[in-house]
Amino acid sequence: MKLLITDVDGSLLPFGQAELSPTIIDFFRTLPAQDVRVTFATGKPFARALPLAEALGITTPIICANGALIKDPVTKQTLFREPIDEAVAREVIQLLAHDARCQLYPETDKALFFVKNPAIPEAAWRHRRPGWKIPTAYDPATDLVEAMQDVPHKIAVSTHPDDRASVEELLRSRFADTLSFFHSKPDILDLAAKTVDKGTAARWLMDFLHIRQEDVIVIGDEMNDIPLCAVAGQLLVREHAPDALLKHADIVIKSGDEALILAIKQALAIS
């Protein structure tokens, strides 16, 4: 049994594309017959990753929120979850709730929220873009746990790419000892508990499934995929990835669906 762990945005889906191509869907649906289990390791919320997993016929638990959450796509059962410390989550939201550079999207096990920010006009809200389901509004003047009925396991900070570095510098100056920081997209900075990353979640899933490292194939393209290097038997990396990830690649994947399929076949030694 092999386990194929793939990132989504930039690896399976070109940035800005919301739906998987028929070519990718058809190929991935052939993999179970090759004794290959497929899962995601993505920064996406479960609710946004689930339709993609269902399209590919994935029944293996999927890793979401950069490793903060593992859920079964069939039963919807939560198998693993690591929330942010409650006091830290409150402080982050209060710090940035009125910052004109940022839109905040806290994620719990049950829902995705957006923090009302009066410094940003409604027309500019990120979730007004096509393909988004409208998240639940959260007023930062109200109690976090009472309003969300939980503590978030991820806070996505949406910001202009030119502002991301300064926002991250501010956050690291306050929370370097308590949070992990992930660059999942050029305009997104994801925050999670300090112990969270995709590699730690993948190791948990491998133990859960009794899969050996030499039987694991990983596909990635961004800095938040680097922790997966520690669990990969083979690492497949998109050619547009940063050098920090590319240097670990066993196979470099050129752009396009056919190149991805060819690389997976090469890694699995199938025709």
Does the structure show a pLDDT above 70 at 155? yes
Q: How confident is the model at residue 153 (pLDDT cuts 50, 70, 90)?
A: very high
pLDDT at 130: 67
End-to-end CA distance of the chain: 17
pLDDT at 249: 97
Does the structure show a pLDDT above 70 at 61? yes
For the entire predicted model, the pTM comes to: 0.91
* Percent of the chain clearing pLDDT 90 (strictly above): 80
Q: Average pLDDT for residues 50-77, to the nearest whole number?
A: 97
pLDDT at 164: 93
- Count Cβ neighbours within 10 Å for each residue of 243-270 and write b for 16 or more, e otherwise: eebeebbeeebeeebeebbebbeebbee
pLDDT at 134: 73
Q: How confident is the model at residue 163 (pLDDT cuts 50, 70, 90)?
A: very high
Does the structure show a pLDDT above 70 at 74? yes
Assess contact for 75 and 63: CB atoms under 8 A: no
* Percent of the chain clearing pLDDT 70 (strictly above): 98
Composition of the chain by helix, strand, coil, percent to 5 = 40, 25, 35
Does the structure show a pLDDT above 80 at 129? no
- As a whole number, the mean pLDDT across the chain is 93
pLDDT at 43: 92
Choose among 220, 207, 204: nearest CA to 5. 220
Q: Average pLDDT for residues 115-129, to the nearest whole number?
A: 84
- Residue 48 corresponds to which amino acid? R
1-50 pLDDT, tens digit each: 899 999 999 999 987 788 999 999 999 999 999 999 999 999 999 988 99
Does the structure show a pLDDT above 80 at 271? no
pLDDT at 39: 98
pLDDT at 126: 80
Assess contact for 158 and 124: CB atoms under 8 A: no
Q: How confident is the model at residue 124 (pLDDT cuts 50, 70, 90)?
A: confident
Q: How far apart are CA 248 and CA 227, in angstroms?
A: 11
β-sheet bridge partners, residue 2: 36
Choose among 180, 162, 158: nearest CA to 171. 180
Q: How far apart are CA 54 and CA 39, in angstroms?
A: 11
